[in-house]
Amino acid sequence: MSGPRPVVLSGPSGAGKSTLLKKLLKDYEGVFGFSVSHTTRNPRPGEEDGKDYHFTTREAMQEGIDKGDFIENAEFSGNMYGTSKSSVEDVRAKNLICILDVDIQGVRNIKQTDLDPIYVSIQPPSMEILEKRLRDRQTETEESLQKRLEAARIDMEESNEPGVFDLVIVNDDLDEAYEKLKNVLLEEIQKVQEANKS
Protein backbone atom coordinates (compact mmCIF):
# COMPACT_ATOMS: atom_id res chain seq x y z
CA MET A 1 0.00 0.00 0.00
CA SER A 2 1.48 3.30 -0.98
CA GLY A 3 0.45 6.76 0.11
CA PRO A 4 0.53 8.32 3.56
CA ARG A 5 -0.39 6.31 6.65
CA PRO A 6 -4.03 6.64 7.67
CA VAL A 7 -4.97 8.00 11.08
CA VAL A 8 -7.36 6.20 13.38
CA LEU A 9 -9.03 8.65 15.73
CA SER A 10 -10.99 7.27 18.63
CA GLY A 11 -12.47 8.43 21.90
CA PRO A 12 -15.83 8.88 23.58
CA SER A 13 -18.51 11.27 22.42
CA GLY A 14 -17.92 14.64 24.07
CA ALA A 15 -14.14 14.27 24.34
CA GLY A 16 -13.66 16.92 21.64
CA LYS A 17 -12.68 14.87 18.59
CA SER A 18 -14.79 16.89 16.15
CA THR A 19 -13.43 20.19 17.42
CA LEU A 20 -9.83 19.00 17.03
CA LEU A 21 -10.57 17.55 13.60
CA LYS A 22 -12.13 20.78 12.34
CA LYS A 23 -9.03 22.69 13.45
CA LEU A 24 -6.74 20.21 11.72
CA LEU A 25 -8.70 20.31 8.46
CA LYS A 26 -8.72 24.10 8.50
CA ASP A 27 -4.96 24.41 9.14
CA TYR A 28 -3.98 21.74 6.64
CA GLU A 29 -6.28 22.12 3.70
CA GLY A 30 -5.79 19.48 1.03
CA VAL A 31 -3.86 17.11 3.30
CA PHE A 32 -6.57 14.97 4.87
CA GLY A 33 -9.41 12.94 3.45
CA PHE A 34 -12.21 10.83 4.84
CA SER A 35 -13.12 7.37 3.70
CA VAL A 36 -16.77 7.07 2.76
CA SER A 37 -18.47 4.51 5.00
CA HIS A 38 -20.94 1.88 3.88
CA THR A 39 -24.34 1.64 5.54
CA THR A 40 -27.54 -0.37 5.18
CA ARG A 41 -29.71 2.52 6.43
CA ASN A 42 -31.78 4.58 4.01
CA PRO A 43 -30.38 7.89 2.77
CA ARG A 44 -31.60 10.95 4.66
CA PRO A 45 -32.84 13.94 2.65
CA GLY A 46 -29.91 15.60 0.87
CA GLU A 47 -27.50 12.70 1.32
CA GLU A 48 -25.71 11.47 -1.78
CA ASP A 49 -24.66 7.92 -2.48
CA GLY A 50 -20.88 7.71 -2.73
CA LYS A 51 -20.41 11.10 -1.07
CA ASP A 52 -22.07 10.87 2.35
CA TYR A 53 -22.21 7.09 2.45
CA HIS A 54 -22.14 4.11 0.14
CA PHE A 55 -25.74 2.97 0.60
CA THR A 56 -26.06 -0.77 0.28
CA THR A 57 -28.14 -3.79 1.25
CA ARG A 58 -27.58 -6.01 4.27
CA GLU A 59 -26.90 -9.01 1.97
CA ALA A 60 -24.29 -7.18 -0.11
CA MET A 61 -22.60 -5.77 2.96
CA GLN A 62 -22.54 -9.10 4.80
CA GLU A 63 -21.02 -10.70 1.70
CA GLY A 64 -18.28 -8.04 1.66
CA ILE A 65 -17.57 -8.56 5.37
CA ASP A 66 -17.34 -12.32 4.88
CA LYS A 67 -14.90 -11.81 2.00
CA GLY A 68 -12.74 -9.56 4.20
CA ASP A 69 -13.39 -6.35 2.24
CA PHE A 70 -14.09 -4.36 5.39
CA ILE A 71 -11.58 -2.92 7.84
CA GLU A 72 -14.21 -2.54 10.51
CA ASN A 73 -17.96 -2.77 10.82
CA ALA A 74 -20.59 -2.42 13.49
CA GLU A 75 -24.32 -2.43 13.95
CA PHE A 76 -26.25 0.51 15.43
CA SER A 77 -30.03 0.63 15.88
CA GLY A 78 -30.60 -2.21 13.44
CA ASN A 79 -28.40 -0.80 10.65
CA MET A 80 -24.95 -1.94 9.61
CA TYR A 81 -22.06 0.50 9.15
CA GLY A 82 -18.54 -0.18 8.00
CA THR A 83 -15.33 1.03 6.42
CA SER A 84 -14.17 -0.85 3.34
CA LYS A 85 -10.53 -1.28 2.39
CA SER A 86 -11.25 0.23 -1.02
CA SER A 87 -12.68 3.45 0.44
CA VAL A 88 -9.45 3.96 2.42
CA GLU A 89 -7.42 3.12 -0.68
CA ASP A 90 -9.33 5.76 -2.66
CA VAL A 91 -8.18 8.43 -0.20
CA ARG A 92 -4.57 7.20 -0.14
CA ALA A 93 -4.48 7.08 -3.93
CA LYS A 94 -5.13 10.85 -3.92
CA ASN A 95 -2.08 11.16 -1.63
CA LEU A 96 -4.20 12.26 1.31
CA ILE A 97 -4.02 11.14 4.93
CA CYS A 98 -7.18 9.12 5.48
CA ILE A 99 -8.92 9.86 8.78
CA LEU A 100 -10.90 7.03 10.31
CA ASP A 101 -13.13 8.04 13.20
CA VAL A 102 -14.03 4.77 14.96
CA ASP A 103 -14.98 3.46 18.37
CA ILE A 104 -12.74 1.23 20.48
CA GLN A 105 -14.25 -1.90 18.89
CA GLY A 106 -13.34 -0.51 15.47
CA VAL A 107 -9.79 0.08 16.71
CA ARG A 108 -9.51 -3.58 17.71
CA ASN A 109 -10.83 -4.66 14.31
CA ILE A 110 -8.36 -2.45 12.44
CA LYS A 111 -5.52 -3.97 14.50
CA GLN A 112 -6.33 -7.28 12.76
CA THR A 113 -5.65 -5.77 9.32
CA ASP A 114 -2.48 -4.73 7.47
CA LEU A 115 -3.52 -1.07 7.41
CA ASP A 116 -0.74 0.18 9.75
CA PRO A 117 -2.34 3.49 10.73
CA ILE A 118 -1.37 5.91 13.49
CA TYR A 119 -3.69 5.23 16.42
CA VAL A 120 -4.77 8.28 18.45
CA SER A 121 -7.26 8.36 21.30
CA ILE A 122 -8.86 11.62 22.46
CA GLN A 123 -10.00 11.37 26.07
CA PRO A 124 -11.90 13.75 28.35
CA PRO A 125 -10.13 14.94 31.53
CA SER A 126 -12.69 13.07 33.69
CA MET A 127 -16.09 11.43 33.61
CA GLU A 128 -17.56 14.46 35.43
CA ILE A 129 -16.34 16.89 32.78
CA LEU A 130 -17.53 14.57 30.01
CA GLU A 131 -20.98 14.35 31.58
CA LYS A 132 -21.15 18.13 31.87
CA ARG A 133 -20.14 18.57 28.19
CA LEU A 134 -22.76 16.09 27.05
CA ARG A 135 -25.47 17.65 29.23
CA ASP A 136 -24.59 21.13 27.96
CA ARG A 137 -25.21 20.00 24.39
CA GLN A 138 -28.83 19.26 25.33
CA THR A 139 -29.13 16.80 22.48
CA GLU A 140 -29.58 13.64 24.56
CA THR A 141 -32.40 12.02 26.46
CA GLU A 142 -31.38 10.84 29.95
CA GLU A 143 -31.37 7.26 28.69
CA SER A 144 -29.13 7.94 25.68
CA LEU A 145 -26.89 10.10 27.89
CA GLN A 146 -26.40 7.21 30.33
CA LYS A 147 -25.61 4.89 27.40
CA ARG A 148 -23.00 7.33 26.10
CA LEU A 149 -21.46 7.67 29.56
CA GLU A 150 -21.28 3.90 29.96
CA ALA A 151 -19.62 3.57 26.54
CA ALA A 152 -17.22 6.36 27.54
CA ARG A 153 -16.28 4.58 30.77
CA ILE A 154 -15.35 1.43 28.84
CA ASP A 155 -13.52 3.50 26.22
CA MET A 156 -11.48 5.34 28.86
CA GLU A 157 -10.46 2.09 30.55
CA GLU A 158 -9.53 0.30 27.35
CA SER A 159 -7.62 3.23 25.85
CA ASN A 160 -5.15 3.01 28.72
CA GLU A 161 -4.20 -0.58 27.94
CA PRO A 162 -0.59 -0.65 26.74
CA GLY A 163 -0.14 -0.96 22.98
CA VAL A 164 -3.67 -0.06 21.94
CA PHE A 165 -2.88 3.54 20.93
CA ASP A 166 0.27 5.28 19.73
CA LEU A 167 -0.91 8.36 21.58
CA VAL A 168 -3.61 9.09 24.15
CA ILE A 169 -4.45 12.79 24.38
CA VAL A 170 -6.34 14.03 27.42
CA ASN A 171 -8.27 17.02 26.14
CA ASP A 172 -8.37 19.37 29.11
CA ASP A 173 -6.75 22.23 27.19
CA LEU A 174 -7.79 22.47 23.53
CA ASP A 175 -4.64 24.21 22.26
CA GLU A 176 -2.39 21.77 24.06
CA ALA A 177 -4.38 18.77 22.84
CA TYR A 178 -4.23 20.16 19.30
CA GLU A 179 -0.43 20.60 19.45
CA LYS A 180 -0.04 16.97 20.55
CA LEU A 181 -2.32 15.74 17.77
CA LYS A 182 -0.50 17.84 15.18
CA ASN A 183 2.93 16.66 16.34
CA VAL A 184 2.10 12.96 16.09
CA LEU A 185 0.87 13.53 12.50
CA LEU A 186 3.55 15.98 11.40
CA GLU A 187 5.74 13.46 9.60
CA GLU A 188 2.85 12.23 7.44
CA ILE A 189 1.58 15.80 6.89
CA GLN A 190 5.02 16.83 5.62
CA LYS A 191 5.18 13.84 3.27
CA VAL A 192 1.88 14.89 1.73
CA GLN A 193 2.91 18.53 1.45
CA GLU A 194 6.25 17.60 -0.17
CA ALA A 195 4.58 15.28 -2.66
CA ASN A 196 1.98 17.91 -3.53
CA LYS A 197 4.71 20.43 -4.31
CA SER A 198 6.44 18.21 -6.82
State whether residue 47 is helix, strand or coil.
coil
149 vs 130: CA distance, rounded Å: 8
**CA triple 143-10-40, angle to 5 deg:** 65
Which listed residue (58, 135, 137, 153) is catalytic?
Answer: 137
Is 44 considered catalytic here? yes
For residue 89, what are the CA distances in angstroms to 6, 98, 150? 10, 9, 34
Is 148 considered catalytic here? yes
22 vs 54: CA distance, rounded Å: 23
93 vs 198: CA distance, rounded Å: 16
Residues taking part in catalysis: 44, 137, 148
